[in-house]
Amino acid sequence: MVLRDVPVIDTHVHLWDKENFRVSWIDGDPTLDQQYLPADFERHRREVSPEGFVFVEAGIDAPYSFLEAEWVAGLAQQENRLKGIVAAAPLEYGSHARGYLDRVAALGPLVKGIRRLLQGEADPFFCLQPAFIEGVKMLPPYGFSFDICIYHHQLPGVIELVRRCPEVSFILDHIAKPNIKAGELDPWRQNLAELAGFANVACKVSGLVTEADFQNWTEAGLAPYVTHVLAAFGEDRVMFGSDWPVALQATTYTRWVETLDHLTRRLSQAARRKLWAENARRVYRLTD
């Protein structure tokens, strides 16, 4: 088994049932346009065998968003490794999203956070609309964190969002999707360091391979990005994520785990335990 010396919790897993929910963004993709259910994840993760995982909303078509969260909450009754849910919610409606959040919260304590995808918004400062900020500020009373999913050029807007929402726990997905394929580090590097300066932000080391060349990425090409994230956020605010099955476009589950393990072998054993599991438990408030 890979990673025998530390426990593993995967903080970023998607599942989708495209027979019952419309997932239009995967249409025609030879890798993704199929069912991805818990049994499929079990096959792919077998060599790693994480002790738990967090489901993150999969960007399915908006009319199905609540049904997705409800479906995954039901799956958890049979899938005991499913430790948390990050559900979609229309936070851009501000106070009018409260009823939606009430319904999501009623699904039970397995719901740990909310993600409203920002990466597809043409306006890089979409998140600074007053209603969106109001929606984000409503999350703490529910005990919900907010997952940030953006491309690197949207970091300045997100930095300001975080500045205006000091009571919210933020989790940055996929290290803000830098342009790894082109080897670009700046201004991502400076912006990420500024975001990391806020103590209420954690970061998932996930999604790197799909921002690189799918077929030709190398460990050396990923190394500067991983090194910078670890330096910026420190050992207490970084978490492993697979971004399965999206990452299958560029890697197997096992290869990504082995790559990240090799890139972080210089860390102390205590820091490695935090990266692979302990920070996930704390940041997402997971229970066994």
| Strand partners for 52 | 9
pLDDT at position 1: 66
Domain residues for 85?
Answer: 9-283
Within-domain flag for 75: yes
pLDDT at position 223: 98
Distance CA 81, CA 46 (A): 13
107: left (phi over 0), alpha (psi -120 to 50) or beta: alpha
The pLDDT of residue 119 is above 80: yes
Residue range 73-101: mean pLDDT, rounded: 97
pLDDT at position 245: 98
pLDDT at position 240: 98
The pLDDT of residue 62 is above 90: yes
pLDDT at position 4: 81
pLDDT at position 253: 98
**Total of domains in the chain:** 1
pLDDT, tens digit, 9 for 90 and up, residues 193-223: 999 999 999 999 999 999 999 999 999 999 9
C-beta of residue 249 within 8 angstroms of C-beta of residue 19: no
Within-domain flag for 288: no
- Residue 187 is part of a domain; what is its CATH number? 3.20.20.140
Distance CA 278, CA 111 (A): 19
Average pLDDT, the chain: 97
| Strand partners for 203 | 172, 238
Within-domain flag for 4: no
Residue range 128-152: mean pLDDT, rounded: 98
**Of 160, 151, 105, nearest in space to 129 by CA:** 160
pLDDT at position 222: 98
Q: How confident is residue 2, by pLDDT bands cut at 50, 70 and 90?
A: confident
Within-domain flag for 1: no
The pLDDT of residue 288 is above 90: no
Within-domain flag for 159: yes
Within-domain flag for 61: yes
The one-letter amino acid code at 55 reads F
C-beta of residue 146 within 8 angstroms of C-beta of residue 121: no
pLDDT, tens digit, 9 for 90 and up, residues 145-193: 999 999 999 999 999 999 999 999 999 999 999 999 999 999 999 999 9
Within-domain flag for 186: yes
pLDDT, tens digit, 9 for 90 and up, residues 245-279: 999 999 999 999 999 999 999 999 999 999 999 99
Within-domain flag for 3: no
